[in-house]
């Protein structure tokens, strides 16, 4: 026992230096650990921001609410796609092609007062409306067009209005695709 006390007494300076170095090392580890914990607390607080315990919200409730919102959006997207498909079908039957040709049907009447107007849907169904003006009278004719054909003979001006309607439609489609 005496030898042990003498050993401690002789090495007390070394023991104090060793304990001081150890204490310094522990303090440095404590500071590093505290910095990491503070960063983690900030991240946690940022993550939890917007969740109010007073409102009864926790992470599980928030996740469930967000999953429900996503499912509702999926259902809404399905509904929108169905409506879009219905509109795509219906739009085929709307007026999409229009062509007009003005001309003078008679030599004694000027100013191109006569006309032929082609009004067609996307499948070339519609009508050609022709108005012929003369000094004594005015006549209007309507000829049905079914899939690009008419059971009535079309005049040169009516054919020109039909071709103009188709040509302008194709040009509009090209411009729409390039936009």
Indicate the domain borders of the chain: 97-178
Q: Are 150 and 159 in contact (CB under 8 A)?
A: no
Which has more confidence, 142 or 62? 142
| Mean pLDDT score of the chain | 87
Q: What is the DSSP letter of 100?
A: E
Within the chain, how many helices (H) and strands (E) appear?
4, 4
pTM of the model: 0.58
Could you report the per-residue pLDDT of 84-121, keeping only the tens digit for each? 999 999 998 999 999 999 998 887 767 888 999 999 99
Q: What is the DSSP letter of 154?
A: P
């Amino acid at each position: 026992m005496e030898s042990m006390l003498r050993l401690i007494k002789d090495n007390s300076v070394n023991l104090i230096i060793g304990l001081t170095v150890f204490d310094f090392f522990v303090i440095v580890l404590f500071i590093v650990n505290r910095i990491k914990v503070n960063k983690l607390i900030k991240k946690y607080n940022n993550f939890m921001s917007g969740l109010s315990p007073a409102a009864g919200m926790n992470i599980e409730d928030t996740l469930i609410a967000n999953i429900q919102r996503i499912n509702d959006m999926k259902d809404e997207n399905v509904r929108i796609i169905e409506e879009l498909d219905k509109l795509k079908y219906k739009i085929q039957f709307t007026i999409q092609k229009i062509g007009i040709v003005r001309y003078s049907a008679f030599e004694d009447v000027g100013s191109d007062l006569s006309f032929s107007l082609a009004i067609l849907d996307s499948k070339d169904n519609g009508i050609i409306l022709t108005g012929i003006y003369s000094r004594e009278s005015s006549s209007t004719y309507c000829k049905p067009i079914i899939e690009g054909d008419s059971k009535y003979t079309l005049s040169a001006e009516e054919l020109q209005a039909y071709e103009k309607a188709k040509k302008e439609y194709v040009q509009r489609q090209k411009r729409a695709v390039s936009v």
